[in-house]
Amino acid sequence: MQNIGQQIEGKKFLLVLDDVWTENRRNWDNLKHTLMCGSLESRVLVTTRKENAANVIGTTNKISLGILSEDECWSLFSQLALFETTTNEFEEIGRKIVKKCKGLPLAVKTLGSLLRFKREFKEWENVLESEIWELEEVEQEVFRPLLLSYYDLSPTLKKCFSYCAMFSKDYEIEREQLIKLWMAQGYLKSKDSKKDIELVGEEYFKSLAMRSFFQDFEKEESNIDVFSCKMHDIVHDFAQFLTQNECYTIEVDGRGEIELESSHDKVRHLMIKIQGGASFPSSIYTKNTFLRSLVVDCNYGTDPKIVLSKLIDQFTCLRSLSLRQCSIEEIPVEIKKLIHLRYLDLSWNKNIKELPETLCGLYNLQTLDIRYCENIKKLPQGIGNLINLRHLLNWRTDSISYMPKSLERLTGLRTLGRFVISEGNYGSEECPVECLKNFKHLREFGIKGLGNLRDVAEVKRIELNNKKNLRELYVDFEGRMNEEQNQQLLEELQPHPNLEM
């Protein structure tokens, strides 16, 4: 350090720190102290794959590199791959190969360098038609820099990243769903016992995003947080390369039955993507009893004809089951067999009329998602037995007219989409509004039918002002009260200052 100081003292310099990984501020402070003896016009340029590294250094101007356009990709590829006698035929197939690179310069460079010495048209055709990563040279060249980023992750972050190999290519991954799926597999760990594991999941997601493992971020207009993201095809291939078929996707269309290969019997996390008028593959009912995750992805209006009782019998080790928008009409009583289940998504199944009481025997359940199940008349009376439930997602379940009494035991809820205050009198069956004062961990909370309270003073018993963890609040004043009383209700609510939405 002393020698560097002597060399640059009073001089104007440009220092380039390429591919910085360290997040140790002390290392940077030591170097910065040495650099202070140079001219004030000096500049330091840093390149890094880690946003935290840039933050530690305190960069004044960040430039995030995106993907290349198709024309830029072709320009790079043609410089590397085309030769003097290249014909239009080679150029045409070359442009198709470039499209497979999806704007990633490293992939373009690797494939261009590979094809530079392949002068037979058939060789180029093989590259186009194959799964690119079956080519050993490409796998080694492109995956090597990704491995550097992967090895820099903690063991738990590695699991979270690899888990994403289950989703199909170009799948829109919802951030909240992904965090809850990680949670269901037990991937979210914290040394601080007081810290919610959901917040750990948020940190994990941001950490992977900062390392460019995710892209194409989407936000909702009303929310500052990321709603969804995607994985670049090459990053997805890399994740599958790491998991060695432990995470797998099956795509089913109307062309006929498919069967999971015997070599994939070790699959633990499975997505089945059903397109067009296809049905759920019946061969799945006889396969892999050790599945931990099953996500069924259907197009809107598709009826995959899932025999849920057979599915339950086969996959009793499931921790996550997502049957969103699968045209399911009835939840069988056999659901109680899924004793390890921690995540259950039944959302957008608009024909479900009730949930069986046996569902309340799933003591490990952390997330129950019944959003947009518009015809569910009531929640099971024994819902309070779900002692580990953290998220009850019940938005747009407008046919539910009251909350069962046992709900008052679920004081560990972080999400209670809608607490319904009834306009009728359900007596001892109904959960009283004053029980809400004990729900101190809520982060998202909604009240429907506030105008059905007998007295404006009752709203004080909710004690919103004591819910310091609450970030999102939805209030519906529907009910018997008039406009003046509703105004009084609004004044009495008074949430905690930490409320964001």
- Are β-strands 226-230 and 173-174 bridged in parallel, bridged antiparallel, or unpaired? antiparallel
Residue 263 in tokens: 């070599």
Contacts of residue 91, defined as CB under 8 A and 6 or more positions apart, other chains included, come to 78, 82
Instruction: For residue 272, give the nearest of 301, 288, 293, 241 by alpha carbon.
Output: 293
Residue 489 in tokens: 């209700």
B/e letters for 18-38, b = 16+ CB within 10 Å, e = fewer, are: eebeebeeeebeeeeeeeeeb
Residue 454 in tokens: 């007998």
For the segment(s) 245-397, the CATH number from 3.30.465.10, 3.80.10.10, 3.10.580.20, 3.20.20.150 is 3.80.10.10
Residue 5 confidence (pLDDT) = 83
B/e letters for 372-393, b = 16+ CB within 10 Å, e = fewer, are: bbbebebbbeebbbbeebbbbb
Residue 358 in tokens: 């046996």
Residue 405 confidence (pLDDT) = 96
DSSP secondary-structure letter at 443?
Answer: S
Contacts of residue 441, defined as CB under 8 A and 6 or more positions apart, other chains included, come to 196, 411, 412, 413, 414, 469
* Phi, psi values for residue 166, rounded to 5°: -65, -35
* Integer Cα distance of 131 and 139 in angstroms: 11
Three-state DSSP class for residue 484: helix
What is the edge-to-edge ordering of all strands in the sheet holding 173-174? 173-174, 226-230, 215-219
Domain extent listing, the chain: 2-57, 70-129, 153-230, 245-397, 401-501
In one-letter notation, the amino acid at residue 226 is V
Residue in the structure block whose two tokens are 């259907």? 298
- Are β-strands 226-230 and 215-219 bridged in parallel, bridged antiparallel, or unpaired? antiparallel
Residue 276: alpha-carbon gap to chain centroid: 25
* Integer Cα distance of 388 and 412 in angstroms: 7
406 and 385 Cβ atoms separated by less than 8 Å: yes
DSSP secondary-structure letter at 256?
Answer: -
* Phi, psi values for residue 120, rounded to 5°: -90, 135
DSSP secondary-structure letter at 68?
Answer: P
pLDDT of the chain, 501 residues: tens digit per residue: 678 888 888 899 999 998 887 777 887 888 888 888 889 899 999 988 778 888 888 888 888 888 889 999 999 999 888 876 667 888 899 999 888 888 888 778 778 877 877 888 888 888 888 776 666 766 767 787 678 678 888 999 999 999 999 999 889 999 999 999 999 999 998 888 888 999 999 999 998 988 878 888 998 777 778 999 999 888 898 999 898 889 999 988 876 666 666 566 789 999 999 987 788 988 888 877 899 999 999 987 788 999 999 999 999 999 999 999 999 999 999 999 999 999 999 999 999 999 999 999 999 999 999 999 999 999 999 999 999 999 999 999 999 999 999 999 999 999 999 999 998 778 889 999 999 999 999 999 999 999 998 888 888 889 999 999 999 999 999 888 888 888 888 888 889 999 999
Taking every pair of C-alpha atoms in the chain, what is the biggest distance, in angstroms? Answer: 88
Q: Beta-carbon neighbour count of residue 237 at 10 Å?
A: 22
- Are β-strands 320-322 and 226-230 bridged in parallel, bridged antiparallel, or unpaired? unpaired
Instruction: For residue 407, give the nearest of 421, 423, 397 by alpha carbon.
Output: 421
> In sequence order, what DSSP letters do the residues of 384-431 get, joined into one string?
GG-TT--EEE-TT-TT----BGGGGG-TT-SEEEEEEPPSS--GGGBP
Residue 258 confidence (pLDDT) = 67
Alpha-helical segments (H) within 46-169: 51-57, 70-81, 88-100, 105-115, 121-129, 136-151, 155-163
* Integer Cα distance of 192 and 195 in angstroms: 6
163 and 270 Cβ atoms separated by less than 8 Å: no
